[in-house]
Structure 1
Amino acid sequence: MIQDHVAEKENQTHEEEETLTSTKVEYENLLEQNLNLRKENDSLKAIVESEVDNKYQAILTENEELKRENVDLKDELNELTNRMNLEKRQTSQLKQEYLDNENMLSEKLIISNEKNIKLQRELSECKQRLKTMANDHTNEKNQGLQLHESLKAMERQDKLLKQKVLEQTEKNEKLQRQMCIWNQEWSSFYK
């Protein structure tokens, strides 16, 4: 009975040793697999870290380029905004100048129309005066013809008078000569 129990215990111990040996081998296999997995994991980790680092550097580089582009775009946007504001001011100024010019031209047009009306009145008055003067000129022309005829008559009369004066002068000279002769004769007579 005790032998059976011992034999059973030995069998149990033997089984436990086999199990332990098997477990030990399995454990060692697992340790080796674990070591291999760690090596593989470290290798993969190094690859991933390298790729991540490369991607990180690429992202940083791209980010810096985007920052520079953003700065350039901001500068361009500011320039465009300034230009747009300037164009708005210039447009507003041109609009105001246009309105001012339009008002000025309207005022000038009103003044010009008033002057035109005044000039038309003056022109009508001038035409009327010219018409009157033309009538007066016709009358004066007729009077001038009459005066011309009168002058001709006066010239003829003047010629006749001159002729008479000349004849009278000759008579006077003749009388003076005659008187001189008489004076001489009287002088000699009284001597």
Structure 2
Amino acid sequence: MTVRVLALVGSLRAGSHNRRLAETAVRLAPENVRISLYEGLGELPFYNEDIDTEAALPEQAARIRAAAAEADALLLFSPEYNGTMPAVLKNAIDWLSRPYGAGAIHGKPVAVAGTAFGRYGGVWAQEEIRKAAGIAGATVLDDVKLAIPDSINRFAAAHPADDPEVVEGLTKVIDRLAAEISAAKAA
């Protein structure tokens, strides 16, 4: 049984440490786990109920909803912007939460990881993401946590894939997410 995980990255910056962390997750995924890195969050229009209709639904919104619907779970990577999550990630959660009670992430396991410049690694942003995803109907894995501090220095000359502590932490996140999906499918 292949486990399909959709990864969303809350940083649009070229060379983003969170993007590199997500790419590392793709490489670390065991044989039975396929992690797909979603491209295009920057093109997703801000959520607006007026355009969330069959006649006006933006192609980008339909595309992210389809990608999330096909996935068994989501893995969200995020920096911390001014003590909270980036707008692009919140916007994606908003689109994926609709229609209310039946959105593309409703009931799906969601794990959050990331790295940030500060000494706490973006824990405030991660808590906000967990809160928003849970309200959106996802099954948030609150016990899965990976917040890597001091990204600007830690990854200045090294890739996250070359950091044994990061590899170990990310592997635990992936394994826990896969176990949650496998248990749900077996039930």
Tell me the TM-score normalised to structure 2 length. 0.14
Q: Give the structure with the larger strand fraction.
A: 2
Using CA pairs under 8 Å that are at least 6 residues apart, name the structure with larger relative contact order, 1 or 2. 2
State the structure with more CA Rg: 1
Tell me the TM-score normalised to structure 1 length. 0.14
